[in-house]
Amino acid sequence: MADAATISWNASQGNYFRVTLAGNRTINGGTSPKDGQRVMFEFIQDGTGGRTVTFENGTTHFRFGSDTIRADCTLSTGVASTDYVAAVWKQAASQWDVQACSRGF
């Protein structure tokens, strides 16, 4: 994925998406998902660190279950630290259900 104020991505291009964050960002719901598709996002802090990601809500959006680790998915803040977010597309709800957030690699 390309770094930008709002990060756009296309689910038809794969299941693994990586970006180095150079500022606080919003990630949109993407385009072209398939029912049951699983994706993994890798967020890497740049040389400054402390960057945040907001998961966009809207027509296509993310939702977090009550058991999702770190339900708000707050990223780690260390310079060059890496965090992962896994989600599955639920066509009936038109939503990405976030299944896991793993921080601090």
Per-residue model confidence as pLDDT tens digits over 51-86: 999 888 755 689 887 776 555 678 999 999 999 999
Predicted confidence (pLDDT) at residue 41 exceeds the cutoff of 90: yes
Model confidence at 48, pLDDT cuts 50, 70, 90, reads: very high
* The pair of three-digit structure tokens given for residue 64, joined into one six-digit string: 């977090």
Phi, psi of 75 (to 5 degrees): -75, 155
Q: How much is the mean pLDDT over the chain?
A: 91
Contact 83, 50 (CB under 8 A): no
